Structure 1
Amino acid sequence: MTSAAAAPAADVRPDLTGRRVHVKVPATSANLGPGFDTLGLALARYDDLEVSVPTALTGQDGPGLDIEVHGVGAGEVPLDASHLVVRAIAHTFARAGVELPPLKLVAHNSIPHGRGLGSSGAAIVAGVIAAKGLLEGIVEFDPDDLLALATELEGHPDNVAPALFGGLTIAWVTPEGPRHKKLMVHRGVSPLVLVPEHEMSTALARSLQPESVPHEDAVFNVSRSALLIAALIQSPELLLQATEDKLHQHYRAQAMPETDRLIRALRAAGHPAVVSGAGPSILVLASDPSARAEAIRLVEASADTVWQALPLAVDFMGATVQPA
């Protein structure tokens, strides 16, 4: 941790009783077609959480922890120390050398789980940001610290970077740790997320990819990734060409045939559609709101199964934390 206030000695026990923070974290879509494990986009759909340090607490995991989950994941996610937000808080406190206090967590979730919209990354970022807020004035974290902490738990920075910082992010890894660059998206870009009823395992999706790809496919994706940056920040009319990919989507298609079929239909009609993250959701990077409306009509007319259409704005703020 780099800060005006240096990290305290290991296992210190500051009195955090009564501290309470409100955290808001956006959904994300990673890869964006050709930008595999590198590009990510923050979207205006949020998980809201309140984390507090009570005076005394006995919860479902014994003394010291109480968790409430409302909305997405209610009745499904664990209500003990294995909850991903709690794990991220504990990880951040441990890295800071501060003993974890009793916690009360109330989560109101709207980011779909297992659909390729960064729900696990959002939970990790929520925990890291909550810990930052609870430790305000005791330990300070710079942006690189936050990204490193979140990446340690997530494994890849491409989802946690846009969740942390908002906008379009380029993420990469150096010997000193993960780094990012945030870019502002052209105001004409109108994201549409199509969410199916079924889930997709990220681990399964990754297992379907080969360890090596043809040289020409790698060159193809380098060109499209570069073009995609230009399309998103300056020239939305290039988005259809810029979202072409040969590195990951067709390898995963066998595991999500409905997603693959709908993407092909959308792209054939001129809509820049890609798999959102590991899928099975679809991200359409429409060049304006009218094109987005046309894509919704196409899905309603041609889809064999139910897809929830979410017209979303780009989130430019990223995760926020403030006293509650």
Structure 2
Amino acid sequence: MRIAKEYARVRVPAVAAHTGAGYGSMALAVGIWDEISVTLTTGEPKAVVLGEGSRDIPKDGRNPVIVALRKMLEELGLPQTGMELVCRNSIPRGCGLGESAAARAAAGMLIKALADKPDLLDFSRLLALCAPDAHSAVGVSAALAGGVTLTLEEDGGFRALCFDPHPQLKISVILPSADPLPGVSNVVLPQQVSRPDAEFNSSRAALLLHALTSAPQLLRSAAQARLAYHYRHDLMPDSVRLLERLRAAGWPALFAGSGPAILVFSPIPQSLADSLRGNGFRVLTADPVPRRAQ
């Protein structure tokens, strides 16, 4: 395999990985998109970043997509090259919507689009190329495949099972204005959990997959989780309070990834959206992403 083209463009969705009781295996692709194009050059790598993250994302060789691209080229034994990226970002940063997974997936998809034999980079090979570890593979699988994914370690690699979301599933995304960056809650999770919490999560994980794919009317119950939830109180109190109020009012809601973004599996009335915005929250509407052909 060699690089045969000088230009490629891909779109990658937001991802809610390790969401709810699906912590450790489940992810949902959410229809908020980053679009990344690359032009191969002879100069130093650089990037133009538009939209979300435009003030903070590096514009040089430290750009996360460029870093991933160069690492993957090395792993594939392909020559390094200069490159110019244009990143049109809509995925909110630092809130649990999988911008890191999207960056890795975009890099792998760009290499496939540039290659002379793209069929050599099938889904399994792309997943292995894009995911440095099992934790990352959960989000990357949904960014690559769309839909709802279950990812597991198998025979020294990763295997992802991909499902179509229910056609009537709707998603509202609530973004708090001031909470910690994603991944922080993962650091404080204990090495051991109680048996009741483990049993509760196991039952809700199975129910969550069923609800997302076949029975969205069950999402209010399926959205409940215990393993990661209790440890967010001190880290993101505003988000926890809002999530508790939404659930008490009957909304099927859970954290996106490690938070602080919240997914509500229902359209939000304009009056509630206006109230949330008046209290410093952002409210977005997104559809689930259909499963892509593998």
TM category (shorter chain) comes to: over 0.9
For 2:21, the equivalent position in structure 1 comes to 34
The residue aligned with 1:52 is 39
**Distance in structure 1 (CA, Å) of the matches to 2:225 and 2:234:** 16
CA shift digits 1:120-172 (9 cap, x unpaired): 11111111111121223278212111111221178422211111000111111
Q: 2:246 aligns with which of 237, 256, 266?
A: 266
The aligned counterpart of 2:99 is 119
SS at match of 1:113: coil
Q: Is the 2:179–2:235 Cα contact (8 Å) retained in structure 1?
A: no
Residues 257-302 of structure 1: CA deviation (Å, up to 9, x unaligned):
110011111101111111111111101123xxxxx234x6445446
Q: What does residue 170 of structure 1 align with? A: 150
Aligned mates of 1:172, 1:79 — CA distance in 2 = 34
- Contact conserved, 1:70 with 1:109, CA < 8 A, in 2? yes
Scaled by the length of structure 2, what TM-score is found? 0.93
2:283 to 309, 314, 317: 309
CA distance in 1, matches of 2:58, 2:293: 23
**Residue identity in the other structure for 1:19:** E
Retained in 1: the 8 A contact 2:147–2:290?
Answer: yes
Q: TM-score, normalized by length of structure 1?
A: 0.84
Give the aligned length.
Answer: 294
Cross-structure match for 1:289: none
Displacement of 1:32 after TM fit? 2.9
Any residues of structure 2 matched to 1:104-115 within 5 Å, and which?
104-115=84-95
- 1:236 aligned to 202, 206, 216, which one? 216
Alignment of 1:126-275 (within 5 A): 126-137=106-117, 140-152=120-132, 155-275=135-255
Question: Identity rate of aligned residues, in percent?
Answer: 31
User: Deviation per CA, 1:70-94, whole angstroms, max 9, x where unpaired?
Assistant: 1112131112222110111112111
Structure 2 distance, partners of 1:251, 1:124, is 28
Corresponding residue for 2:268? 293
* CA 88–37 in structure 1, closer or farther in 2 if over 3 Å, else same: same
Letter of the structure 1 residue corresponding to residue 257 of structure 2:
G
Letter in 2 for 1:314: P
Partner AA of 1:117 in structure 2? L
Q: CA deviation at 1:176?
A: 2.8
Question: C-alpha distance in 1, partners of 2:65/2:134?
Answer: 12
Instruction: Report the AA paired with residue 293 of structure 1.
Output: I
Structure 1 CA distance for aligned equivalents of residues 133 and 69 of structure 2: 11
Please say if residues 42 and 318 of structure 1, whose CA atoms lie closer than 8 Å, have aligned partners that are also in contact.
no
Give distance in 2, aligned partners of 1:158 and 1:318.
16
Contact 2:25 2:150 in 1 (8 A): yes
Residues in 2 aligned to 1:167 and 1:226: alpha-carbon distance in whole angstroms: 16
Letter in 2 for 1:316: P
- Is the Cα contact below 8 Å between 2:3 and 2:114 reproduced in 1? no
Judge conservation of contact 1:51–1:103 (CA < 8 Å) in 2: yes
Conserved? CA contact 2:7–2:39, under 8 Å: yes
* CA shift in 2, pair 1:15/1:21, >3 Å: closer
Shift of 1:317: 5.1
Return the offset for 1:303. 7.6
Helix, strand or coil: the match of 1:181? strand
Report the alpha carbon displacement of residue 198 of structure 1 after superposing the two structures with TM.
2.6
| Residues 163 and 318, structure 1, Cα contact 8 Å, conserved in 2 | no
Q: How far 1:319 moved relative to its partner? A: 11
| 1:46-80 superposed Cα distances (whole Å, 9 cap, x missing partner) | 111111113x43xxxxxx32211111121311122
Q: Which residue of 2 aligns with 1:43?
A: 30
